[in-house]
Amino acid sequence: MRGWRQLEFKWPWRERREPRAPKVAVEEPARPSVPRPAEANAEGDRDVSQLRDWCRDRAAGLRLRKLAACVEVRWNDRLQSTAGRAQWPECWIELNPRLRELGDDEVWRTLKHELAHLVAFSRARGRRIAPHGPEWRQACAELGIPGESATHALPLKSRRMKRRFAYVCRNCGERILRVRRMRGHVACYGCCRRFNRGRFDARFRLVEEVL
């Protein structure tokens, strides 16, 4: 049960209403320039704080107060071929540091791409949505990248790792390759979604194959 807050009432004849200020169009915050790797500050990473502040301003402009209060941006040296990724509900945006070698435009495009994910999930309020569905595409358009591709086609060096484990669904025959062995009980998502409303069903449990 939600708590009740005490309300303060005023008599009409004691209340003095101020004239309403005219509405002013809100412009998109200016994009700060992103320092090159040689200019990066190892102590505070000023470029990261600028990117974070920009994301918070955009989230506030979209009336997403909770997202504006907690969204964070950081560089992740462990990213190889991935340009960036978003973590929900942690509200983290991680960027590949090598994006700075490709120019500011790639940094900002990737930042908006990932922020759009957080905007879409924040608006969904727990409702299950597709990662690159219509909610995400709408957020991309509002952030200035309409028609954004779901994949990052960037010339980043990839690290290929051999997938040594294979898992098969006995119901539909779906085969999944993995670099590491799965832990716990894992079922076929497609079959669970089709026959059990997306919930785990032991009938569709994945079986490991020997490669």
Which tens digit of pLDDT belongs to each residue from 13-25?
A: 344 444 454 443 3
Of 75, 157, 59, nearest to 112 by C-alpha is: 59
Mean pLDDT (whole number) for 38-67 = 79
Count of all residues that appear for the chain in the document: 211
- Is residue 45 very low, low, confident or very high in pLDDT (cuts 50, 70, 90)? low
Say whether pLDDT at 169 is over 80: yes
Report percent pLDDT > 90 for the chain.
43
Of 80, 165, 64, nearest to 116 by C-alpha is: 64
Question: Alpha-carbon distance 156 to 146, whole Å?
Answer: 23
Structure tokens at 32: 């700060």
Of 113, 154, 153, nearest to 137 by C-alpha is: 113
Structure tokens at 124: 């969904």
Query: What residue spans of 83-149 are helical by DSSP H?
Result: 104-124, 134-142
- Is residue 161 very low, low, confident or very high in pLDDT (cuts 50, 70, 90)? low
Mean pLDDT (whole number) for 71-78 = 93
Which residues make up the CATH 3.30.2010.10 domain(s) of the chain?
42-157
pLDDT at 210: 66
Question: Alpha-carbon distance 31 to 165, whole Å?
Answer: 45
- Is residue 189 very low, low, confident or very high in pLDDT (cuts 50, 70, 90)? confident
Count how many Cα atoms sit within 13 Å of the Cα of residue 130 in the half-sphere of its side chain.
7
pLDDT at 173: 87
For the segment(s) 42-157, the CATH number from 3.30.2010.10, 3.30.420.40, 3.10.105.10, 2.60.40.10 is 3.30.2010.10
DSSP 37: G
